[in-house]
Structure 1
Amino acid sequence: MSSSYDFDLIVIGTGPAGCSAALEAARLGLRVAAIERKECIAGVSIHKGTITSKLLRRTILNLQCARQNPLLRQLFPSTKNMRMTDLLSEVESVIAQESQSVTWKLGRSGVTLINGLATFVDSHTILVTSDFDTQYLRGKMFLIAPGSIPHKPDTIPFDSETILDSEELMQMNTVPASLIVVGGGIIGTEYANMFAALGVKTTLIDRHNELLPFVDREIVGILLQAMGDLGVTIRLGVNVDSVHKNPEGHNEARLSNEESLSAQIVLVCSGRRGNTKRLNLDRAGVEMDEHGFIKHDGSFKTHASHIYAAGDVVAFPALASTAMKQGRQALHHLLGVQETYNIQHIPYALYTIPEVSMVGATEEELVRDHIPYQVGRAKFYDTLTGEIRQDSRGMLKLVFRPDTFELLSIHAIGSSAAEIIHVGHAVMELGGTLEYFKETVFNYPTLAECYRTAALNGLRKVTSGPARG
């Protein structure tokens, strides 16, 4: 390393993208520094997003199971006046464990962890400011991974008490009696499901005419039925023009169709912005779009050739799982290291109730692209595990080429959908076909048995009818 640089690589942010890049760089022999605010080590997703929401969901599912059990239902009170701290009792300990784990991994690997806020002075120099001191650091290369923050529309008067963004939601004292969720993306739909499952009167509003347009329409149809059973009211194709307090002290949302809805709490999930405001990226020659997301060339290289960006700060797909991969990919491209394996398809999951997961194209995309296909389906209830779990809506859907039986996509909805998707994903990535599922042995009883049922269902259709697409 040139003596003019303090580090070969400076990583800004220790979330999934930043941490994976820093660890890989250290493994490759670079001298690495990672910059992060002390209260956010391991990233915003751990402290304010992924972990908190998943712990809340798990608690809600446990409550649901208990209330369905005749022996247990009388032990659990109504959610009326239930405190959020009761539902999130494990959050602090889990966050502390994750933060300690990341700190230990970085330290063990030889990464210098520096607490503070980073701002660029020039394209090779940053100023790191903490509560105790400031210091200038020079880096030969940079990986920017500060994550994202909630987008707050100017038309909505956020007050951090009853009109909240997704990161403020967990600060509520009690479970509300009623909730309006503005925005039907992944975050908004997940929270609408969770609170409806708690018995909260919930309304979900989205400006698009379709909910979750990137998800297979058949799967969304099943999800909408489940949301209806939970009591979620859905308003699509309308905007929220204004929010104000009504005489009863509740928040009243005025919609673009002139309808008015009131609720105790308004949760706004209208997208995210790149967490780049304080970085002074213009001084480094790094460009952003109007939402604060960093522009890159597809390989995560910014307009400054020695500065790369990864994770939520580059927008799509904004998932912790993909951020880890992006961090490593960005580093390898920065160093000119050949990727050992190129993943063709990335799985996604929505932690709704029931959960949804998918990998590959939707039926709608295949029809659009004129790709012939056939579908094999299996209900979770076709397996003993599905019966035991009383998962009457669960379904696995295999989409494949009718001539070669090559897998084109997998879609699942129901309990453990995000887990069982990986069985099909692995077969799909390695070029396997439906024949594998027909012939292999699955543990019994498991939901994975649905793969054989769906494969047999699909193979029967090939011999009895024409392909779709």
Structure 2
Amino acid sequence: MPRKKEVVSGNFVKYDAVVLGSGPAGEGAAMKLAKSGKRVAIVDVREQLGGNCTHVGTIPSKALRQTVSSIIRYQRDPMFKKVGDWKQFTMKQVLRNAHKVIQQQVDTHSRFYDRNSIDVFHGRAYIQDKNTVIIFGVDGLKETIVFKQLVIATGSRPYHPQGLDFNHPRVFDSDKILDLDYSIHKIIIYGAGVIGCEYASIFIGLDHKVDLINTQHKLLSYLDDEIADALSYHLREQGVLIRHNEQIDHLETFDDHVVLYLQSGKKIKADAILWCNGRSGNTDGLGLENVGITPNSRGQLAVNDKYQTEVENIYAAGDVIGWPSLASAAYDQGRCAGANMSGEEGVQPVVDIPTGIYTIPEISSIGKNEQQLTEEKIPYEIGQSSFRHLARAQITGDTVGELKILFHRDTLEILGIHCFGNNAAEIIHIGQAVMKSPNNTIKYFVETTFNYPTMAEAYRVATLNGMNRLF
């Protein structure tokens, strides 16, 4: 049962720590603080817990991706008939199952807070001073909370540039797109970062025409070149039209279509546009000016290695501090912030973060890529395994993709792992575990017996391929 709230005076309630936001970062911080014996409260603007991750981000978009992936798998299997009128599905229809998952996640996380005696407040938080938060509800003032320490984990939202009317029914951001309730045939996706590429693969999987507008010279340039090229090739092969080095000039909207004008002079007509070019931290209206904290131009907060802001008792974690803006990293950042707030020694910041990109198929990587190793003049070698040669991939039909291991020529230490293909975000963790072990060498993959047939076999094949290059 939740602990009884400690009323200080009047309507004031006192806590050791207050966490703003119940997404992964907020939950990680709250759980760590509670398990350290702190009296903890969490405040969320929604009436249900889980943050953007659960309601408009990771969970619904990945549930959508899973449904589309199942449709693609069903379509390519000659044993089954055509699905029928699936091409006429609206986003809301495809997302029906996602709403069940969202509610299950809300229920699960709510139990976590109950079990750890964390008090939950719903409403808009306003920081009055470095020890006081006021919570406003739809009916006005709800509660005043006094605290010793504060964690800001309010997340982020899609960036909205001036000049675009996101209230128009054919102009979407990555939150609003989940409510698309009419059929479309062609969509423009502006911004080819992680979210843009993920939605490009989803919409092309639904047999829509997709124009992917990239403001950079290539897709996801921070990835290993070979993996980024593989994604680009696969999207084009599926029918996505990728336009690199482009910038918006203006957008015209009509009742039944939109027209995007690019600075290069190109003009593109489509049924709708999805804007995926950046995100902004949810810090406006928090009252940060009352404690001397100033967000950057994208609403993000600066923190040190302890996830501490310039105000000693105020910490921040998750999307609100910017990179890497991943749910997995956010939870660990929140946990680390909570550990530092509790006085633990030797807490390391979150740095070794696997990349998980949920395109169809997925991309995941950890460690250094070829460009970095070449610049650092590290003598490395490459081991590769093509999924099309693996028995498990041949059985499932998921033959697109590869696993790439980069290792030191002399010590055989694993320096980086890069995977493109179905379940890449799962496969990567096998290599990650070996990289983190005291005996980090590729020999592990040839000296250990794996189940057969599995996708894990890719590690053994890639290792043998790489070791053959040493002779």
Band of TM-score, shorter chain: over 0.9
Shift in CA distance, 34/60, structure 1 to aligned 2, threshold 3 Å? same
| Residue in structure 1 matched with residue 329 of structure 2 by the alignment | 322
Which of 7, 20, 25 is residue 28 of structure 2 equivalent to?
Answer: 20
Deviation at 1:390, TM superposition (A): 2.4
What amino acid maps onto 1:449 in structure 2?
E
Q: Distance in 2 between matches of 1:38 and 1:418?
A: 30
Which of 383, 404, 407 is residue 400 of structure 1 equivalent to?
Answer: 407
Give the secondary structure class of the aligned counterpart of 2:66.
Answer: helix
| Residue in structure 1 matched with residue 275 of structure 2 by the alignment | 268
Q: Distance in 2 between matches of 1:234 and 1:38?
A: 37
| Residue in structure 2 matched with residue 368 of structure 1 by the alignment | 375
| Comparing 86-95 and 312-321, the one that deviates more | 86-95
What amino acid maps onto 1:396 in structure 2?
L
| Residue in structure 1 matched with residue 364 of structure 2 by the alignment | 357
Q: Distance in 1 between matches of 2:221 and 2:201?
A: 17
Residue 90 of structure 1 pairs with residue 97 of structure 2: yes
Residue 177 of structure 1 pairs with residue 185 of structure 2: yes
What amino acid maps onto 1:318 in structure 2?
S
Give the secondary structure class of the aligned counterpart of 1:33.
Answer: strand
What amino acid maps onto 2:156 in structure 1?
S
Residue 422 of structure 1 pairs with residue 429 of structure 2: yes
Deviation at 1:78, TM superposition (A): 4.5
Shift in CA distance, 51/160, structure 1 to aligned 2, threshold 3 Å? farther
Shift in CA distance, 75/199, structure 1 to aligned 2, threshold 3 Å? closer
Deviation at 1:342, TM superposition (A): 7.2
Deviation at 1:33, TM superposition (A): 0.4
> 1:70-85 counterparts in 2 under 5 A?
70-79=78-87, 81-85=88-92
Residue 197 of structure 1 pairs with residue 179 of structure 2: no
Residue 232 of structure 1 pairs with residue 233 of structure 2: no
Deviation at 1:27, TM superposition (A): 0.6
User: What is the CA deviation profile of residues 21-45 of structure 1, one whole-angstrom value per residue up to 9, with x for unaligned ones?
Assistant: 1011111100000001243411111
Q: Distance in 1 between matches of 2:241 and 2:257?
A: 18
Unaligned runs of 5+ in 2: 1-5
Deviation at 1:218, TM superposition (A): 0.2
| Residue in structure 2 matched with residue 213 of structure 1 by the alignment | 221
Q: Distance in 2 between matches of 1:2 and 1:285?
A: 28
Unaligned runs of 5+ in 1: 464-469
Q: How many residues align?
A: 461
> 1:11-410 counterparts in 2 under 5 A?
11-79=19-87, 81-132=88-139, 133-245=141-253, 249-339=256-346, 345-410=352-417
| Comparing 351-360 and 367-376, the one that deviates more | 367-376
Deviation at 1:243, TM superposition (A): 0.6
TM-score (norm 1): 0.95
**Contact 1:287–1:294 (Cα < 8 Å) also in 2:** yes
Give the secondary structure class of the aligned counterpart of 1:207.
Answer: coil
Deviation at 1:345, TM superposition (A): 2.0
Give the secondary structure class of the aligned counterpart of 2:456.
Answer: helix
| Residue in structure 1 matched with residue 448 of structure 2 by the alignment | 440
Give the secondary structure class of the aligned counterpart of 1:192.
Answer: helix
Give the secondary structure class of the aligned counterpart of 1:434.
Answer: coil
| Residue in structure 2 matched with residue 466 of structure 1 by the alignment | none
**Contact 1:155–1:241 (Cα < 8 Å) also in 2:** no
Give the secondary structure class of the aligned counterpart of 1:189.
Answer: helix
Q: Percent identity?
A: 35
Deviation at 1:72, TM superposition (A): 2.4
| Comparing 334-343 and 116-125, the one that deviates more | 334-343
Deviation at 1:339, TM superposition (A): 4.8
Q: Distance in 2 between matches of 1:19 and 1:344?
A: 19
Q: Distance in 2 between matches of 1:396 and 1:235?
A: 27
User: What is the CA deviation profile of residues 241-280 of structure 1, one whole-angstrom value per residue up to 9, with x for unaligned ones?
Assistant: 111036x842110111101011001000010000011201
Deviation at 1:184, TM superposition (A): 0.6
| Residue in structure 1 matched with residue 468 of structure 2 by the alignment | 460
Q: Distance in 2 between matches of 1:40 and 1:269?
A: 26
Shift in CA distance, 177/257, structure 1 to aligned 2, threshold 3 Å? same
Give the secondary structure class of the aligned counterpart of 1:121.
Answer: strand
Give the secondary structure class of the aligned counterpart of 1:90.
Answer: helix
Deviation at 1:73, TM superposition (A): 2.6
TM-score (norm 2): 0.94
